[in-house]
Amino acid sequence: MPFSSFGLSPALLRSVADKAYPAPTPVQLAALPAALQGRDLLASAQTGSGKTVAFALPLLQRLEHIAPSQPRLLRALVLVPTRELAAQVGEEIRGLGAHLSPPLKVSIVFGGVSINPQMMRLRGGTDIMVATPGRLIDLIAHNALTLADVAMLVLDEADRLFDLGFAEELSRILELLPAQRQNLFFSATFPPAVQTLARTLLRDPVRVTVESEPQGAPHIAQRAIEVDAARRTQLLLHLIKQNHWSRVLVFVATKHATEMVADKLRKGRINAEPFHGNLSQGKRTQVLADFKASRLKVVIATDVAARGLDIAQLPVVVNYDLPRSALDYTHRIGRTGRAGERGVAVSFVNAGTEAHLRLIEKNHGLSLPREQVEGFEPTPVDPAAGPGGDTSGNGGVKGRRPSKKDKLRAAAAQTPR
Ligand code: AMP
């Protein structure tokens, strides 16, 4: 079923043609007809599935035929959990609306940067807004906008909105919206809070389920390499050089580790930068822009980068530290092999994290063969030595953390007799 069969306007079809998408993705096939008819939508879809296009086209198509007013009235609101996702989604909507005449104004707002320029840009109103919830509320408090005319609401990555503690902001925003509106609800997972919100928010929604990435993504080659925790950076350097990886996104457990590993890679003459929540917004934007433009080879990130980032043709993701949960694993490896491209996801594992990786595999119905790289074989573990080797600090290794008894034993062993 080609894009031309959805009844999209000529201007939108032109934008889609500019993008040269080979065909609609499964989430687009399932969501577009219903959303274009004005129905509410409850979609279970990962980032990377093409979901932004699935909600952006219906927003644009509906607003295209509304006569422009002065000032412009905010008709479509897209709520997203992170600044990066806001920028990415906003740009994608702008791109898809590029041929509309008269043009629609798409505003992107998020926290962590000064509010004044955002307020200035909102003078004269806006048609579409992509926002993180906190900054949206700040702008309303400054009388920079009103939600009274919103006819379409998109919640993107709803589960992540809750993970990041936006529940309160979300309910305040929902109270300010007109009752009569179309709701498009996207989430990768459906924990109870998200289900409750979906139930209260949506009217007779069309349900869209797209298979989650790891099982349904044969184009992502998932590998597990055994290596001692202390030798991971050396192995990473070796793999990057030996495999001629052009761009690599590496996940670590802490902000400190992003700095440390990036530093060591730079000493090994690999162009690498850390990426975490404590960096200034300017720095984060710069790192992402450099990475996207291939001026930067490696980004070492905390899970802040795991969701929402859309970096086309990212060939490799490395779990230097394992993610805390099976769900984070999904999000991390979903940064590669996007929209049909091929990708590699490598996880480093050692004696201390083996049990945790097995849990993740079990959760996803995976069984990854353990590989070793010549020259980086792990030191054999003495089972009598008890749990050890886990320097990841991921804190999620069930049954592997030292028990109270272990700690008492260790303390006793260290006490001078
Ligand atoms: P999303 O799930 O919205 O984050 O989209 C992930 C990526 O898929 C983006 O880079 C889109 O440009 C791309 N994309 C969206 N629709 C299609 C399509 N029909 N075919 C190929 N790529 C697509």
Q: How many angstroms does the Cα of residue 200 sit away from the middle of ligand 1? A: 29
Give the pLDDT of residue 185.
96
Give the pLDDT of residue 391.
39
Please check whether residues 167 and 63 belong to one and the same domain.
Answer: yes
Please check whether residues 252 and 180 belong to one and the same domain.
Answer: no
Give the pLDDT of residue 395.
38
**Average pLDDT of 349-378?**
90
Q: How many structural domains is the chain composed of?
A: 2
Please check whether residues 201 and 243 belong to one and the same domain.
Answer: no
Q: Which residue minimizes the CA distance to atom 19 of ligand 1?
A: 24
Please name the residues in contact with 352: beta carbons below 8 A apart, sequence gap of 6 or more: 229, 387, 388, 389, 390, 391, 392, 397, 400
Please check whether residues 282 and 239 belong to one and the same domain.
Answer: yes
Among 156-160, 330-334, 347-351, where is mean pLDDT lowest? Answer: 330-334
Which is more confident, 14 or 212?
14
Q: How many angstroms does the Cα of residue 53 sit away from the middle of ligand 1? A: 7
Please check whether residues 232 and 273 belong to one and the same domain.
Answer: yes
Distance CA 74, CA 107 (A): 10
Please check whether residues 63 and 102 belong to one and the same domain.
Answer: yes
Residue that finishes a domain, picked among 157, 178, 209: 209
Please check whether residues 239 and 171 belong to one and the same domain.
Answer: no
Which is more confident, 370 or 392?
370
113-117: long-range contacts, CB 8 A cutoff, minimum separation 24: 113/281, 115/139, 115/142
- Supply the DSSP symbol for 72: B
Residue 214, pLDDT above cutoff 50:
no
Give the pLDDT of residue 277.
79
Atom of ligand 1 nearest to the CA of 89: 3
Give the pLDDT of residue 353.
94
**Average pLDDT of 312-337?**
82
Give the pLDDT of residue 233.
96
Of 15, 19, 27, the one to substitute when testing ligand 1's pocket (max ligand atoms within 8 A of C-beta) is: 19
Q: Which residues line ligand 1 (CB under 6 A)?
A: 21-22, 24-25, 28, 47-53, 310, 312, 338-339
Q: Which residue minimizes the CA distance to atom 5 of ligand 1?
A: 50
∠ CA 12-14-19, rounded to 5°: 100
Q: Which residue minimizes the CA distance to atom 20 of ligand 1?
A: 21
Residue that finishes a domain, picked among 157, 182, 209: 209
Residue 403, pLDDT above cutoff 80:
no
CB 154 within 8 A of CB 77: yes
Q: How many angstroms does the Cα of residue 3 sit away from the middle of ligand 1? A: 13
- Has residue 391 been placed in a domain? no
Q: Which residue minimizes the CA distance to atom 21 of ligand 1?
A: 21
The mean pLDDT of the chain is 85
Q: How many angstroms does the Cα of residue 338 sit away from the middle of ligand 1? A: 8
- Has residue 354 been placed in a domain? yes
Please check whether residues 189 and 238 belong to one and the same domain.
Answer: no
CATH number of the domain where residue 359 is located: 3.40.50.300
- Has residue 393 been placed in a domain? no
Please check whether residues 148 and 224 belong to one and the same domain.
Answer: no
Q: Which residue minimizes the CA distance to atom 9 of ligand 1?
A: 50
pLDDT in tens, 247-302: 999 999 999 999 999 999 999 999 999 998 788 878 888 888 898 888 899 999 98
Q: How many angstroms does the Cα of residue 377 sit away from the middle of ligand 1? A: 39
**Confidence (pTM):** 0.63
Domain range holding 201? 3-209
Q: Which residue minimizes the CA distance to atom 16 of ligand 1?
A: 50
Q: How many angstroms does the Cα of residue 9 sit away from the middle of ligand 1? A: 20
- Has residue 405 been placed in a domain? no
Residue 388, pLDDT above cutoff 50:
no
- Has residue 12 been placed in a domain? yes
Among 36-45, 195-204, 335-344, 400-409, where is mean pLDDT lowest? Answer: 400-409
Atom of ligand 1 nearest to the CA of 47: 2
CB 24 within 8 A of CB 32: yes
Give the pLDDT of residue 45.
83
pLDDT band of 225, cuts 50, 70, 90? very high
Please check whether residues 204 and 242 belong to one and the same domain.
Answer: no
pLDDT band of 358, cuts 50, 70, 90? very high
Distance CA 203, CA 195 (A): 13
**Average pLDDT of 318-324?**
93
Give the pLDDT of residue 188.
86
Atom of ligand 1 nearest to the CA of 23: 19
- Has residue 358 been placed in a domain? yes
- Has residue 397 been placed in a domain? no
Which is more confident, 88 or 304?
88
Atom of ligand 1 nearest to the CA of 28: 19
Which is more confident, 407 or 152?
152
Give the pLDDT of residue 393.
41
pLDDT in tens, 145-154: 999 999 999 9
Atom of ligand 1 nearest to the CA of 21: 20
Give the pLDDT of residue 79.
97
Please check whether residues 126 and 200 belong to one and the same domain.
Answer: yes
Q: How many angstroms does the Cα of residue 159 sit away from the middle of ligand 1? A: 20
Give the pLDDT of residue 164.
77
Q: How many angstroms does the Cα of residue 41 sit away from the middle of ligand 1? A: 19
Give the pLDDT of residue 337.
66
Residue 216, pLDDT above cutoff 90:
no
Give the pLDDT of residue 190.
85
Residue 406, pLDDT above cutoff 70:
no
φ/ψ region of 191 (left if φ > 0, alpha if ψ in -120 to 50, else beta) reads beta
- Has residue 401 been placed in a domain? no
Atom of ligand 1 nearest to the CA of 19: 12
Give the pLDDT of residue 8.
95
Please check whether residues 148 and 284 belong to one and the same domain.
Answer: no
pLDDT in tens, 173-188: 999 999 999 999 999 8
